[in-house]
Chain A
């Protein structure tokens, strides 16, 4: 087994709120520079930059997990990690069908760039990626699980878009695989503040929207190999997780 420095929450230039130079190629370079071995690309309600990030990562020895940061009807953000492009794109289809309608005119809400491995712009995603889906939190988490994915409650210590801020507490019927502490809060503080959720595994990540933010917080996993399945075992308590 080996320790893997892991940052499971990085936005690319596809997210309306991310910097335009957050291209997969530059993100991978930054991840190498920060000594990360596993990252997840997690754009808001879209996975259109994940494939290029995965192939670019392979060339630099970085394992990239396909992920999205999804928005429930209650405006709870959920980090959804998947084992394959097939499953993430199947989930993306459900998300696109239930995302609130409307067009992002690119000046108002960011450019939402789909890019290739050379940082060239392939398309502007016109959907309202920062909007909410019509899926309740319970249905959203069930859908993630039905495609073999893992559901991590995003930045639960934050005052907005977290399950705690939106819904007061984690509903009994919503099964998260892990809870994410934002970069702003220390692990000890989070664990004492949210002591009632100590039965669920914790991760901490950067939620990077700018290159310099990548790896500002990370989680260390003791794994047999850098893979979705091994992280899944860690969330089941069968591998060590260090914050």
Chain B
């Protein structure tokens, strides 16, 4: 099983808030609507999003998300960082767009199966 740390390394992600990066990642959910993530994401998903708001951390905790990945050069808001540190939620960032990151992640996850 892939871990958050392994994915960060393979995709060259910058870890802004380091939670438990030994957590497994069993799947991925991509959405910028938090209501949609609450409805459809699964436990141990990596969540790829453009949203930088502190509510993302709350949703990640509620849904058991393994880590957040902010794409396209977006950075978490200061309040998001504070909340993620308190909740030990990993937030990673990348300058790459979502499509490229998702494509590479998909390949990595398929090759692990």
* Interface contact tally, CB-CB below 8 A: 38
Complex interface residues of chain A between 108 and 142 (CB less than 8 A to chain B): 136-138
Tell yes or no: A169 within 8 A of B by CB.
Answer: yes
- From B34, B52, B79, name the one whose CB has the most chain A CB atoms within 10 angstroms: B34
Give A183 to B37 CA distance when docked, in angstroms: 26
Query: Residues of A contacting B58 with CB < 8 Å?
Result: 168-169
Query: Is B34's CB under 8 angstroms from A167's CB?
Result: yes
Query: Is B54's CB under 8 angstroms from A166's CB?
Result: no
Complex interface residues of chain B between 17 and 49 (CB less than 8 A to chain A): 32-38
Query: Is B35's CB under 8 angstroms from A74's CB?
Result: no
The A interface, classified by DSSP as helix, strand, loop or mixed, is loop
Contact with B along A145-176 (1 / 0, CB 8 A): 00000000000000110001111110101000
Q: Nearest chain-A residue to B63 (Cβ)? A: A168
Query: Is A171's CB under 8 angstroms from B55's CB?
Result: yes
Give A200 to B53 CA distance when docked, in angstroms: 22
Known: A164-B35, A168-B59. A74 touches B54 (CB 8 A): no
Query: Is A171's CB under 8 angstroms from B33's CB?
Result: no
Q: How large is the interface on A (under 10, 10 to 19, 20 to 34, 35 or more residues)?
A: 10 to 19
Q: Nearest chain-A residue to B38 (Cβ)? A: A168
CB distance from A156 to the nearest CB of B (A): 11
Tell yes or no: B90 within 8 A of A by CB.
Answer: no
Give A167 to B51 CA distance when docked, in angstroms: 9
CB distance from A217 to the nearest CB of B (A): 22
Complex interface residues of chain B between 54 and 100 (CB less than 8 A to chain A): 54-55, 58-59, 77, 79
Query: Residues of A contacting B59 with CB < 8 Å?
Result: 168
Query: Is A168's CB under 8 angstroms from B77's CB?
Result: no
Query: Residues of B contacting A164 with CB < 8 Å?
Result: 35
Query: Is A168's CB under 8 angstroms from B37's CB?
Result: yes
Query: Residues of A contacting B37 with CB < 8 Å?
Result: 168
Query: Is B34's CB under 8 angstroms from A171's CB?
Result: no
Known: A165-B35, A168-B34, A168-B37. A136 touches B55 (CB 8 A): no
Query: Residues of B contacting A171 with CB < 8 Å?
Result: 53-55
Give A173 to B77 CA distance when docked, in angstroms: 14
Q: Nearest chain-A residue to B36 (Cβ)? A: A165
Complex interface residues of chain A between 56 and 80 (CB less than 8 A to chain B): 73-74
CB distance from B15 to the nearest CB of A (A): 23
Q: Nearest chain-A residue to B62 (Cβ)? A: A168
Give A165 to B54 CA distance when docked, in angstroms: 15
The one of B35, B36, B53 that contacts A137, using a Cβ cutoff of 8 Å: B53
The one of A74, A138, A159, A160 that contacts B51, using a Cβ cutoff of 8 Å: A74
Listed in ascending order, the chain B residues whose CB lies under 8 Å from chain A are 32-38, 51-55, 58-59, 77, 79
Given contacts A159-B35, A168-B35, 15 further A-B contacts (CB under 8 A): A73-B52, A73-B53, A165-B34, A165-B36, A166-B34, A166-B35, A166-B51, A167-B34, A167-B51, A167-B53, A168-B37, A168-B58, A168-B59, A169-B34, A171-B53
A sample of 22 cross-chain residue pairs with beta-carbon separation below 8 angstroms, ordered by A number, consists of: A73-B52, A74-B51, A74-B53, A136-B53, A138-B79, A159-B35, A160-B33, A165-B33, A165-B34, A165-B35, A167-B34, A167-B53, A167-B55, A168-B34, A168-B37, A168-B38, A168-B55, A168-B58, A168-B59, A169-B34, A169-B58, A173-B79
Listed in ascending order, the chain A residues whose CB lies under 8 Å from chain B are 73-74, 136-138, 159-160, 164-169, 171, 173
